């Protein structure tokens, strides 16, 4: 309707738009034409040239909209009230969910921190050892630069950070760190304390492998200047108040981190207070890391078995600290070097040296010489460690070469003995053939024993290398003991020697036990397999089927399509190879055909001295198209 009025009363309107005033839709009417548009005036423009009129034609429609809006507000209020009641009814569940989400958020933050810092969860040292390897303070670690910029809006340039190396035994309950100003003493103190607390909170810490930290029930600190002008508290008075609280809470499971103990007052009085405080703190069982420039505190720590001094390294060539911690040495303050580095005039520095006197210069030279000697000792230790590592690698290389040579010798020995055994069997066949001919031609020589002839041939062949090989094999057989891992010579059967009874041994292999001559065993490297619960008890030999299983797959020879004479030659060779390998049986595949090849081979094999028995193969092995030869 208002759209039509925009067209029909355009001459009375200030603009062709519909406006909203007091939640009512109105038309902008020129003030001089107000009488031409009957309706209710809700507002006027700032200049007074336009009035906003709700035409009478849309009053009822605006009323309906107003009622609908009121109904909408009531419905929103009702829904909000209902939602509020439901939230209140399940308040405990929502609080529990909030805690769980907070825990998950903290865990995710810990994981992200560990990834960014290449951190790790350190080992907790129950005995009190404290070892930090390549430890880095999170506010200095270059890996966390992006995280610091995001969280702290940090803009300072990044610098290379020297990781902290710290190793304190459980007996060393106090570490006194000394050295030049701006040399990193306070960073050592803060890094050790912060990483210990992070570890106890389950957070990964930016440190290397091998890091171990003790557990403390509380960590007390005295770091920085806590003076308050309005409270009439000086630097020294506030420090003494903090030390009093630390001493009151001292105990075996407490850690105190105290920076510049005994400073901000007369050096002699401050030294006395510092030494007395540390004596009492240690007597109460506490553990502490302390930084100081006071010689009396360094001397006190050097004279106690439960304390250790450590110095921050200083490079005399550059006149700057290196930020490396060296245990076992009391560091010098090097105030003159720091002052010179900061640009103090040489005239002032020369006068300061004159005031300090010759005694200070002698002590300075002695401490410099001690630091140089300690550095030479560290370099010698590092060189010795490198030489030890080189020697270890060389020993490993030689051991591998010895093992390789032993294996090669064993392989050559086995090859030689196998060749000798093969020659011996060929000789035995020839002797049998010759004796058969002698028996046919000369009855007087029929009594000659093939065994005697073979024995004579073996005695002749037992000289030289073969005799030595046999002695070596016999010696190695005697080295086999109960529990060793051993193998049947000439086969792939290996297992654990269960017992030895004279010249007979029991070998456990593949869950079975078998009785073998001790002379046929050879010891092999590697741990023996543990006895299996299903192994046979001692005293019983395994069946023929199990023997076949132990000796591996059954060898076979395929003579299908051959003439009988050719097939017999191939089968003879296969028999020799099977006997040499220690196989229990041989599978001869001859096919079905007319049966002449099968019958001829079986007749020949029945007469062979090395064949115990033969049978047709099972259906799964070829049926009557193959013959299984059981070897003697």
Query: Are residues 172 and 256 located together in one domain of the fold?
Result: yes
Residue 277 CB: number of other CB atoms within 10 A? 22
Query: Are residues 177 and 326 located together in one domain of the fold?
Result: yes
pLDDT given for residue 609 in this prediction: 81
Q: What is the average pLDDT value for the chain, to the nearest integer?
A: 80
The whole-angstrom separation of Cα 222 and Cα 112 is: 31
pLDDT given for residue 468 in this prediction: 64
What pLDDT band is residue 551 in, cutting at 50, 70 and 90? very low
**What is the percentage of the chain residues whose pLDDT exceeds 70?**
81
Q: Has residue 393 been placed in a domain?
A: no
In terms of C-beta density within 10 A (0-12 exposed, 13-18 middle, 19 or more buried), how is residue 134 classed? middle
pLDDT given for residue 462 in this prediction: 47
The whole-angstrom separation of Cα 267 and Cα 244 is: 19
Query: Are residues 149 and 124 located together in one domain of the fold?
Result: yes
CB 178 within 8 A of CB 185: yes
pLDDT digits (tens, 9 = 90+) for 319-374: 566 778 878 777 666 666 666 666 778 877 777 777 777 776 777 677 667 666 76
Q: Is the confidence at residue 110, as pLDDT, over 80?
A: yes
For the ranges 97-111, 127-141, 268-282, 480-494, the lowest mean pLDDT is seen at 480-494
Section 545-553 average pLDDT: 42
**Phi, psi torsion values for 183, nearest 5 degrees:** -95, -5
Q: Write the DSSP string, 196-241.
A: HHHHHTT--BS--TT-EE---SEEEEE-S---BTTTTB-HHHHHHH
Section 119-144 average pLDDT: 88
pLDDT digits (tens, 9 = 90+) for 253-296: 899 999 988 887 888 888 899 899 999 999 999 999 999 888 88
CB 114 within 8 A of CB 204: yes
Q: Tokens 């030294």, residue?
A: 271
Please say which residue of 529, 547, 565 terminates a domain.
Answer: 547
Section 124-140 average pLDDT: 88
Q: Has residue 485 been placed in a domain?
A: yes
Query: Are residues 186 and 290 located together in one domain of the fold?
Result: yes
The whole-angstrom separation of Cα 163 and Cα 408 is: 50
Query: Are residues 63 and 138 located together in one domain of the fold?
Result: no
Query: Are residues 79 and 141 located together in one domain of the fold?
Result: no
Q: Is the confidence at residue 630, as pLDDT, over 70?
A: yes
pTM of the predicted model over 0.75 = no
pLDDT given for residue 542 in this prediction: 34
Q: Has residue 375 been placed in a domain?
A: no
For the ranges 54-63, 380-389, 544-553, the lowest mean pLDDT is seen at 544-553
CB 266 within 8 A of CB 247: no
CB contact burial 585-607 (16+ within 10 A = b; e otherwise)? bbbbebbeeeeebbebbbeebee
What pLDDT band is residue 150 in, cutting at 50, 70 and 90? confident
Query: Are residues 257 and 210 located together in one domain of the fold?
Result: yes
The whole-angstrom separation of Cα 632 and Cα 612 is: 5
User: 261: Cβ–Cβ under 8 A, 6 or more apart, which residues?
Assistant: 222, 243, 274, 277, 278, 290, 291, 292, 294, 297
Query: Are residues 520 and 571 located together in one domain of the fold?
Result: no
Query: Are residues 143 and 224 located together in one domain of the fold?
Result: yes
Cα-based distances in Å from 548 to 251, 536, 585: 74, 16, 7
pLDDT digits (tens, 9 = 90+) for 166-195: 889 989 999 999 887 777 888 899 999 999
pLDDT digits (tens, 9 = 90+) for 393-426: 888 888 888 888 888 877 777 777 777 777 777 8
Q: Has residue 434 been placed in a domain?
A: no
Q: Is the confidence at residue 74, as pLDDT, over 50?
A: yes
Please say which residue of 520, 547, 574 terminates a domain.
Answer: 547
The parent domain of residue 178 ranges over: 120-344
Give the CATH number for residue 510: 2.30.30.30
CA 41 to chain centre: 82
pLDDT given for residue 75 in this prediction: 94
CB contact burial 66-103 (16+ within 10 A = b; e otherwise)? eeeeeeeeeeeeeeeeeeeeeeeeeeeeeeeeeeeeee
Q: Is the confidence at residue 595, as pLDDT, over 70?
A: yes
Q: Has residue 501 been placed in a domain?
A: yes
CA 370 to chain centre: 40
Please say which residue of 321, 344, 367 terminates a domain.
Answer: 344
Side by side, the strands of the sheet bearing 24-30 are: 19-21, 24-30, 50-55, 39-44
Q: Is the confidence at residue 213, as pLDDT, over 60?
A: yes
pLDDT given for residue 73 in this prediction: 92
Side by side, the strands of the sheet bearing 307-315 are: 218-222, 254-258, 287-291, 174-178, 307-315, 320-327
Tokens in use for 263? 């400073």
List % helix, strand, coil for the chain (3-state, nearest 5). 50, 20, 30
Query: Are residues 296 and 155 located together in one domain of the fold?
Result: yes
Q: Where would I find the H helices in 292-334? A: 295-302
The whole-angstrom separation of Cα 37 and Cα 519 is: 130
Q: Has residue 243 been placed in a domain?
A: yes
The whole-angstrom separation of Cα 443 and Cα 510 is: 52
Q: Is the confidence at residue 309, as pLDDT, over 70?
A: yes
What pLDDT band is residue 511 in, cutting at 50, 70 and 90? low
What pLDDT band is residue 312 in, cutting at 50, 70 and 90? confident
Q: Write the DSSP string, 165-181.
A: EEEE-TT--EEEEE--T
Q: Write the DSSP string, 479-497.
A: T--TT-EEEETTSS-EEEE
Give the CATH number for residue 310: 3.40.50.300
Q: Has residue 274 been placed in a domain?
A: yes
Q: Is the confidence at residue 234, as pLDDT, over 90?
A: no
CB 312 within 8 A of CB 180: yes
What pLDDT band is residue 537 in, cutting at 50, 70 and 90? very low
**Phi, psi torsion values for 29, nearest 5 degrees:** -110, 140
What pLDDT band is residue 47 in, cutting at 50, 70 and 90? confident
For the ranges 149-158, 328-337, 501-510, 537-546, the lowest mean pLDDT is seen at 537-546
Q: Is the confidence at residue 142, as pLDDT, over 90?
A: no
β-sheet bridge partners, residue 176: 290, 309
Sign of CA dihedral 606, 611, 617, 621: negative
What pLDDT band is residue 533 in, cutting at 50, 70 and 90? very low
* More confidently predicted of 457 and 514: 514
Query: Are residues 500 and 572 located together in one domain of the fold?
Result: no
Q: Is the confidence at residue 34, as pLDDT, over 80?
A: yes
Q: Has residue 425 been placed in a domain?
A: no
* More confidently predicted of 592 and 99: 99
Domain count, the chain: 4
Query: Are residues 537 and 566 located together in one domain of the fold?
Result: no
């Amino acid at each position: 309707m208002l759209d039509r009025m925009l067209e029909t009363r355009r001459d009375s309107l200030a603009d062709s738009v519909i406006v909203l005033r007091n939640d009512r839709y109105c038309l902008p009417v020129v003030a001089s034409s107000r009488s031409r548009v009957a309706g209710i005036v809700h507002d006027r423009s700032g200049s007074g040239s336009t009035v906003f009129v709700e035409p009478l034609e849309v009053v009822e429609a605006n009323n309906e909209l107003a009622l609908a809006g009121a109904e909408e507000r009531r419905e929103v209020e009702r829904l909000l009230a209902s939602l509020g009641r439901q939230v209140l009814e399940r308040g405990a569940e929502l609080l529990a969910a909030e805690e769980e989400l907070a825990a998950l958020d903290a865990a995710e933050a810990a994981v992200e921190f560990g990834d960014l810092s290449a951190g790790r969860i350190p080992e907790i040292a129950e005995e009190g050892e404290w070892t930090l390897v390549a430890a880095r303070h999170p506010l200095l670690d270059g890996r966390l630069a992006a995280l610091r910029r995001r969280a702290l809006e940090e803009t300072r340039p990044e610098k290379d950070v020297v990781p902290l190396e710290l190793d304190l035994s459980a007996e060393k309950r106090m570490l006194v760190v000394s050295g030049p100003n701006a040399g990193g003493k306070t960073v050592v103190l803060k890094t050790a304390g912060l990483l210990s607390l992070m570890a106890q909170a389950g957070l990964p810490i930016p440190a290397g492998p091998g890091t171990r930290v003790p557990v403390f029930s509380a960590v007390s600190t005295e770091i920085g200047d806590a003076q308050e002008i309005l409270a009439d508290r000086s630097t020294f008075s506030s420090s003494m108040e903090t030390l009093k609280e630390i001493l009151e809470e001292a105990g075996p499971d407490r850690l105190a981190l105290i920076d510049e103990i005994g400073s901000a007052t007369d050096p002699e009085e401050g030294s006395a207070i510092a030494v007395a405080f540390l004596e009492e703190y240690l007597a109460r069982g506490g553990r502490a890391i302390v930084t100081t420039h006071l010689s009396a505190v360094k001397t006190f720590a050097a004279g106690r078995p439960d304390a250790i001094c450590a110095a921050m390294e200083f490079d005399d060539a550059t006149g700057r600290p290196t930020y490396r911690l060296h245990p076992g040495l009391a560091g010098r303050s090097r105030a003159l070097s720091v002052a010179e580095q900061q640009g103090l005039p040489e005239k002032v520095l020369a006068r300061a040296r004159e005031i300090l006197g010759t005694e200070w210069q002698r002590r300075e030279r002695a401490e410099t010489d001690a630091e140089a000697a300690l550095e030479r000792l560290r370099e010698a230790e590092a060189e010795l460690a490198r030489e030890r590592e080189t020697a270890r690698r060389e020993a490993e290389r030689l051991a591998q070469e010895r093992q390789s040579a032993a294996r090669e010798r064993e392989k050559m020995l086995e090859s030689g003995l196998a060749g000798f055994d093969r020659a011996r069997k060929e000789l035995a066949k020839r002797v049998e053939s010759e004796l058969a001919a002698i028996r046919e031609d000369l009855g007087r020589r029929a009594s000659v024993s093939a065994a005697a002839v073979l024995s004579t041939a073996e005695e002749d062949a037992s000289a030289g290398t073969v005799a030595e090989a046999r002695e070596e094999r016999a010696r190695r057989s005697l080295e086999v003991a109960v529990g060793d891992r051993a193998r049947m010579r000439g086969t792939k059967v290996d297992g654990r020697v269960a017992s030895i009874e004279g010249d007979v041994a029991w070998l456990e292999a593949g869950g079975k036990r078998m009785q073998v001559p001790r002379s046929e065993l050879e010891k092999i490297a590697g741990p023996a397999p543990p006895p299996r619960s299903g192994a046979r008890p001692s005293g019983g030999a395994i069946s023929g089927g199990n023997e076949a299983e132990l000796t591996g797959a059954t060898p076979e020879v395929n003579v299908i399509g051959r003439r009988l004479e050719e097939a017999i030659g191939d089968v003879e060779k296969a028999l020799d190879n099977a006997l040499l390998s220690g196989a229990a049986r041989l599978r001869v595949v001859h096919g079905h055909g007319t049966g002449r090849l099968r019958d001829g081979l079986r007749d020949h094999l029945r007469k062979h001295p090395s064949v115990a028995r033969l049978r047709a193969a099972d259906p799964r092995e070829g049926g009557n198209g193959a013959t299984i030869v059981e070897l003697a």
